Every structure is written in C-alpha cells, then in structure tokens.
C-alpha cells in the first residue's frame, strides 16, 4: 500500500469513527459508553513492530481530523474513536478521564494511553489528575 493510499484509508476510517463516537457520547448513557470502552480487543496483536506503526497512524488520523472546524470533536469522542480503531487492529489501549481546577471551575479531559504512553489527547493530560481508566493491556 502506498503512503498516500494508507493516509486516505486511515483518514476515512477516522472520519467514520469520530462520527460514531460523537453519536454514542450524545445519545447513549455514560455507563454504556464506558462499558463498551472497557472491553478488550477480540484478538491480540503479536508483532510489536507493526503495532507501533499502526498506533502512530491512528493517532495522526484522529489528531488531523479532530482539529478541523467542521468536525468540532471534543476530547472524549476523539479518544473513543482512536480506541475503536486500535481495538479493531488488536491493540489494547486505556481510556483515561481526569480533572483539574482552574479559576474556581473544574475542567475535565479524556485521553488514550498505551503502556503508559499518552497518544491521543496526551499533550494536555499532564495537567489533569486521573480519575478513571477503562480498558487496557494491563488487565
């Protein structure tokens, strides 16, 4: 597969997953969404070399589409979409939720981790105190 074809395929899948994740967050109960996020992949990826490449592609696709004004995707749907794309490839990931105080208000954030590395929404995650985690390879 050429790099251009691979980019298009990942961007198409990310667009669909972002729409599905936004729909799920908006119309389903949080307990149901987080129960879905807590499921492990059906199969495990055996080759680490290919998994690292796919993790980078998934992260790139979600971050590229998530910042466009026409998507207006918040952190939770982004993390859920990335987790779904990774689970489809047999890669376990952990959806983390955290909070921080700023100017008397409480801010919340969601990010995705794989083996302690923050991949989607991780740049802002250092400021937040983790409250809950769903899914993951360490189970």
Q: For 32-60, what is the mean pLDDT? A: 81
pLDDT at 16: 94
Residues in the chain: 139
Q: For 30-44, what is the mean pLDDT? A: 86
Residue 117 — left, alpha, or beta (φ > 0 → left; ψ -120 to 50 → alpha)?
A: beta
pLDDT at 15: 94
Residue 12 or 66, more confident: 12
pLDDT at 88 over 70: yes
Three state DSSP letters for the chain: CCHHHHHHHHHHHHHHHHHHHHHHHHHCCHHHHHHHHCCCCCCCCCCHHHHHHHHHHHHHHHHHHHCCCCCCCCHHHHHHHHHHHHHHCCCCCEEEEEEEEECCEEEEEEEEEECCEEEECHHHHCCCEEEEEEECCCC
Per-residue pLDDT tens digits for 95-115? 999 999 988 899 999 999 988
pLDDT at 45: 61
Name the pLDDT band for 47 (thresholds 50, 70, 90): low
Name the pLDDT band for 72 (thresholds 50, 70, 90): confident
Per-residue pLDDT tens digits for 2-27? 888 989 999 999 999 999 999 999 99
- Give the chain's mean pLDDT: 87
Which residue ranges make up each domain of the chain? 3-135
User: What are 106's two structure tokens?
Assistant: 């409480």
Tell me if 88 sits within 8 A of 61, measured CB to CB.
Answer: no
pLDDT at 139: 40
């Amino acid at each position: 597969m050429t790099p251009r074809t691979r980019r298009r395929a990942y961007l198409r899948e990310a667009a669909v997953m972002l729409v599905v994740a936004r729909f799920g967050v908006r119309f389903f109960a949080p307990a149901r969404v987080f129960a879905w996020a807590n499921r492990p992949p059906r199969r495990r990826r055996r080759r680490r070399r290919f998994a690292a490449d796919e993790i980078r592609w998934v992260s790139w696709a979600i971050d590229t589409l998530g910042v466009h004004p026409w998507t207006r995707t918040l952190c939770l749907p982004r993390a859920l979409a990335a987790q779904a794309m990774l689970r489809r490839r047999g890669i376990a990931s952990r959806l983390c939720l955290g909070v921080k105080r700023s100017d008397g208000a409480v801010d919340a954030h969601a990010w995705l981790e794989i083996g302690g590395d923050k991949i989607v929404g991780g740049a802002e995650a250092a400021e937040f105190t983790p409250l809950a985690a769903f899914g993951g390879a360490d189970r």
